[in-house]
C-alpha cells in the first residue's frame, strides 16, 4: 500500500496524508502496551506512515523514550515531531523558568534529543503558548535550534491566530497542531484561515474526537476507570447521550460504504484541504491499518455536505477540555 503524501506548509517537508499520534501509547487512554505500540510504529513505517507525533509532556518523557526504541536503526525512515512547554501535563521546568522561556527551550530540546536518541528533531513544536513570555522570545530561541542543526522545522500547538502571525514573523512555522474533527470545528474561523494565508500546514490531533467518532463509546462504561476522558466534559454520561445522536449520520454513511465510522470521520477531515494532516493516535496495529485505509475512502460531495451539516460548529455537548485546561488554549 503506498501512502498518499501531502506537503506540510508551503516550505515544509513532504509527509504522509495521515500521521501517527503517539500520546495514547504511554498516557491517558487505558494501560500502556509497549510491545504492541512498537509493533504498531513498525507497521506504520511499512505502510508509508512515517510521521510520528509526540511531546516531552507525554508521561514526562516516557513516550519519547518508547519512540527511541521503535526507531533504533531506522532514523532515516522517520519524520519525528515532538513538542515542549506543556508544563501542566509534565515537562520538568526548573525553578525560575516557565514553559516558553528561552533558557528552557534550549534545555527541553537537549532532553528530548537525549531521550529520542537522535541528533536532530524534524519538527520541533511549542506545545502550549507561555502567557508570560513574548512569543518572539520563545520562537527566537527555537530559531537558534534550527541554526544549530538540532531542529529542522518549527511548529506550534493550540496557539491563537495573532500568536501564529507573530511567531511566523520571527521564523517560518511549518505546522500548527490543534484539535480538529467533525465535533471540534472551531479552528475553521480564525486559526485555519490564518495558517492558509501564511502557508502553514495543519496537523489535526484528536481527529476521531478522542475516540468518540468511532461510534464505540455509547456510554461512560466503555472507558476504564483510569481513562482520562472521564474528566472531559464531552464524556460525562448526560453529554454522551446527546453526542451519540450526532453519530447517526456517520454510521449511516459508514454502513453504505461498508467501512467503519472512524474511516468516514477521517475521510471528511482529509477532504477539508490538502494542507490538513490528521494524526489519529493508536497503540494497536488493527486500528492503525483501519485509520490509514481512510485515505482511500472517497465520499461523495453530497455525503460530505451531509456530515458538515450534521456537525455544525458548536453542536457538541460539553467543552473539549476540562475548565482549567481551556485557559491554556488559543493564546
Out of 58, 104, 124, 180, pick the active-site residue: 58
Percent of the chain's residues with pLDDT above 70: 99
Average pLDDT over residues 211-231: 91
Give the start-to-end residue ranges of the domains of the chain.
5-213+268-297
CATH code for the domain defined by 5-213+268-297: 3.20.20.100
Dihedral sign for Cα atoms in the order 40, 34, 90, 78: negative
226 pLDDT band, cuts 50/70/90, is confident
φ and ψ at 73, to 5 degrees?
Answer: 75, 0
Over residues 160-216, the pLDDT tens digits come to: 999 999 999 999 999 999 999 999 999 999 999 999 999 999 999 999 999 999 999
Is 321 catalytic? The answer is no
DSSP state, 23? Answer: G
Largest CA distance in the chain: 57
Question: Scanning the structure block, which residue is given the C-alpha cell 488493527?
Answer: 286
Distance CA 311, CA 67 (A): 35
CA distances from 47 to 52, 81, 104, 213, 272 (A): 13, 18, 36, 23, 23
77 pLDDT band, cuts 50/70/90, is very high
Dihedral sign for Cα atoms in the order 230, 22, 130, 187: negative
Query: What's the pTM?
Result: 0.95
pLDDT for the residue numbered 259: 98
Mean pLDDT of the chain: 95
Average pLDDT over residues 233-242: 94
Alpha carbon distance, N-terminus to C-terminus of the chain: 40
Amino acid at each position: 500500500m503506498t501512502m498518499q503524501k501531502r506537503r506540510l506548509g508551503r516550505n515544509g517537508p513532504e509527509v504522509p496524508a495521515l500521521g501517527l499520534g503517539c500520546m495514547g501509547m504511554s498516557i491517558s487512554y487505558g494501560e500502556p502496551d509497549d510491545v504492541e505500540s512498537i509493533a504498531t510504529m513498525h507497521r506504520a513505517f511499512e505502510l508509508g506512515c512515517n510521521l510520528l507525533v509526540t511531546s516531552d509532556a507525554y508521561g514526562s518523557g516516557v513516550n519519547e523514550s518508547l519512540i527511541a526504541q521503535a526507531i533504533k536503526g531506522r532514523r532515516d525512515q522517520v519524520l519525528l515531531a515532538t513538542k515542549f512547554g506543556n508544563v501542566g501535563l509534565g515537562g520538568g521546568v526548573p525553578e525560575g523558568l516557565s514553559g516558553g522561556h528561552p533558557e528552557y527551550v534550549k534545555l527541553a530540546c537537549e532532553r528530548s534529543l537525549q531521550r529520542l536518541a537522535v541528533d536532530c528533531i524534524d519538527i520541533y513544536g511549542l506545545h502550549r503558548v507561555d502567557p508570560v513570555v513574548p512569543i518572539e522570545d520563545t520562537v527566537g530561541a527555537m530559531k537558534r535550534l534550527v541554526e544549530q542543526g538540532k531542529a529542522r522545522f518549527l511548529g506550534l500547538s493550540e496557539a491563537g491566530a495573532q500568536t501564529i502571525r507573530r511567531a511566523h514573523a520571527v521564523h517560518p512555522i511549518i505546522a500548527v497542531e490543534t484539535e480538529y474533527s467533525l465535533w471540534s470545528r472551531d479552528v475553521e474561523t480564525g486559526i485555519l484561515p490564518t495558517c492558509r494565508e501564511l502557508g502553514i500546514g495543519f496537523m489535526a490531533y484528536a481527529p476521531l474526537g478522542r475516540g468518540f467518532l468511532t461510534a464505540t463509546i455509547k456510554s461512560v462504561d466503555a472507558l476504564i476507570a483510569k481513562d482520562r476522558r472521564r474528566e472531559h466534559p464531552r464524556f460525562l454520561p448526560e453529554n454522551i447521550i446527546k453526542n451519540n445522536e450526532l453519530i447517526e449520520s456517520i454510521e449511516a454513511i459508514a454502513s453504505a460504504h461498508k467501512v467503519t465510522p472512524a474511516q468516514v470521520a477521517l475521510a471528511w477531515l482529509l477532504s477539508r484541504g490538502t494542507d490538513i494532516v490528521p494524526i489519529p493516535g493508536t497503540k494497536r496495529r488493527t486500528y492503525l491499518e483501519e485509520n490509514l485505509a481512510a485515505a482511500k475512502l472517497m465520499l461523495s460531495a453530497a455525503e460530505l455536505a451531509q456530515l458538515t451539516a450534521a456537525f455544525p460548529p458548536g453542536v457538541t455537548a460539553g467543552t473539549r477540555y476540562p475548565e482549567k485546561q481551556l485557559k491554556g488554549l488559543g493564546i
